[in-house]
């Protein structure tokens, strides 16, 4: 079951992988947003509620390109009789695109079997293929194919403005870099992949391009 300790034990580096996909918006635990349920590939105790299994997927930063944010301002603009522009603002929505080059098709030699601390028996061994243990190409494709509807995306990047308190920024410069600081509900708008190079008995290399639109 995902906890703040699980997420800390799961990450390879000081900061978490930049992107996590989840079936739920999670909960705020000790100042950290944590998805509910078990990670794809986690050890699941017998008798576990099926609604808690395979609830989130941590994407790899391995050979990932930039994350592009395109803002769409939904509004109606018109000029008044005196020539000034007036806008009826409804909302701002995001379109987010990202890509991977030469991403291993799988993250581990076998099922990762993340334990309650978020550690796989293959972590830091030759059986771990992505540099940070994040999802490989097939896992990303499987998430796309099983999610024709909306899901949640957690983003870890330096957006300290999300942590303003009463108009002031509290510990914003450094205190939240190790957290997922933006959570939005999205749809897949576009997804394509190519098998660039077939490996031997371990994994292939894939290129993946995708675009997500905010609900």
**Three-state SS letters, 2-39:** CCHHHHHHHCCCCCCCCEEEECCCCEEECCEEECCCCE
- Distance (Å) of CA 60 to CA 74, 87, 132, 140, 162: 32, 41, 6, 10, 24
Buried b (16+ CB within 10 A) or exposed e, 62-85: bbbeeeeeeeeeeeeeeeeeeeee
Question: Model-level pTM?
Answer: 0.90
Strands 85-104 and 19-22: unpaired
**How much is the pLDDT for 98?**
98
> How large is the C-alpha radius of gyration of the chain?
19
What pLDDT is recorded for position 89?
87
- 42 or 178, which is more confident: 42
Given this model, what pLDDT does residue 171 score? 64
Phi (first) and psi of residue 6, to 5 degrees: -60, -45
161 vs 150: CA distance, rounded Å: 26
Number of alpha carbons in the 13 Å side-chain half-sphere of residue 207: 4
- pLDDT above 70 as % of the chain: 95
Q: How far apart are CA 61 and CA 83, in angstroms?
A: 50
**Domain residues of the chain, as ranges?**
4-214
pLDDT of residue 29: 77
Are 8 and 114 within 8 A, CB to CB?
A: no
Instruction: Categorize the per-residue pLDDT at 170 as very low, low, confident or very high, splitting at 50, 70 and 90.
Output: low
The rounded mean pLDDT for the chain is 91
Angstrom distances, CA of residue 67 to CA of 13, 76, 99, 125, 131: 19, 29, 8, 29, 18
Q: State residue 185's pLDDT score.
A: 97
pLDDT digits (tens, 9 = 90+) for 60-99: 999 999 999 999 988 888 988 998 988 888 889 999 999 9
Question: pLDDT confidence of 169, banded at 50, 70, 90?
Answer: low
Confidence of residue 101 (pLDDT cuts 50, 70, 90): very high
Which residues, 6 or more positions from 188, have their beta carbon under 8 angstroms from its beta carbon? 144, 147, 148, 210, 211, 212
| pLDDT 10s digits, 115-141 | 999 999 998 899 999 999 999 999 999
pLDDT at 33 over 90: no
DSSP-derived secondary structure letter, 208: E
**What is the pLDDT, as a whole number, of residue 51?**
92
């Amino acid at each position: 079951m995902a906890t703040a300790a699980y997420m800390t034990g799961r990450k390879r580096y000081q900061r978490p992988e930049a992107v996590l996909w989840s079936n739920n918006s999670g909960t705020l635990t000790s100042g950290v947003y944590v998805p509910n349920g078990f990670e794809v590939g986690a050890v699941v105790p017998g008798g576990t509620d099926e609604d808690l299994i395979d609830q989130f997927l941590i994407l790899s930063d391995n050979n990932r390109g930039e994350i592009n944010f395109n803002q769409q301002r939904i509004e109606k603009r018109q000029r008044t009789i005196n020539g000034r522009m007036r806008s009826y603002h409804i909302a701002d929505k995001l379109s987010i695109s990202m890509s991977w080059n030469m991403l291993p098709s799988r993250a581990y030699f076998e099922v990762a079997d993340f334990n309650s601390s978020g550690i796989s028996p293959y972590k830091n061994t030759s059986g771990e293929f992505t540099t940070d243990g994040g999802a490989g190409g097939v896992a990303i494709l499987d998430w796309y194919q099983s999610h024709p509807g909306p899901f949640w995306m957690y983003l870890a990047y330096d957006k300290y403005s999300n942590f303003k308190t009463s108009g002031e920024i509290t510990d914003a410069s450094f205190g939240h870099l190790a957290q997922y600081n933006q959570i939005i509900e999205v749809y897949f708008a576009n997804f394509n992949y190519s098998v660039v190079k077939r490996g031997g008995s371990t994994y292939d290399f894939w290129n993946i391009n995708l675009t997500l639109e905010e609900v």
